[in-house]
Amino acid sequence: MFQAFGREPLFRIVLTRVQPLASHAQLHACAEIERIKVPAFETMIMQRAAYVEVGLSGLAPHFMDRRRTTVAKAVDELDQLVAEIDALIQPASRMRRKGAA
């Protein structure tokens, strides 16, 4: 439907719990996503202790001790993902505002 109107779909896959040392299954999944051309965010959310600790403390990584490497990396990943989402929706929201005017 989007192709019929020359538009890009506003959905993306977010890969989460990505292992730093990729297994064959993880590499295969990434290759399949690319092969079938499903849109995906470039930012991947790695499996990090900081995300596990959210369940213990109730605090998102942004409110944890950023001097800890795992927390700093988690904050960077989340900030990158937010930037990608923002870049994706900004053009769409501008077009809606122009159409309403």
What tens digit of pLDDT does each residue of 4-37 get? Answer: 777 766 789 999 999 999 999 999 999 999 999 9
Confidence of residue 90 (pLDDT cuts 50, 70, 90): confident
Q: Report how many domains make up the chain.
A: 1
Closest CA to 41 of 94, 5, 77, 71: 77
Domain, as residue range, for 91: 3-100
Residue 85: the pLDDT is 93
H/E run at residue 90: helix 69-100
Is pLDDT larger for residue 101 or for residue 73?
73
Distance of CA 64 to the CA centre of its chain: 20
Point out which residues pair with 46 in neighbouring strands.
Answer: 18
pLDDT digits (tens, 9 = 90+) for 50-84: 999 999 999 999 999 999 999 999 999 999 999 99
pTM: 0.77
Show Cβ contacts of residue 99 under 8 Å, excluding neighbours closer than 6 positions: none
91-96: average pLDDT: 60
Q: DSSP label at 46?
A: B
Show Cβ contacts of residue 20 under 8 Å, excluding neighbours closer than 6 positions: 46, 47
At which residue do the structure tokens 């849109």 appear? 39
Confidence of residue 96 (pLDDT cuts 50, 70, 90): low
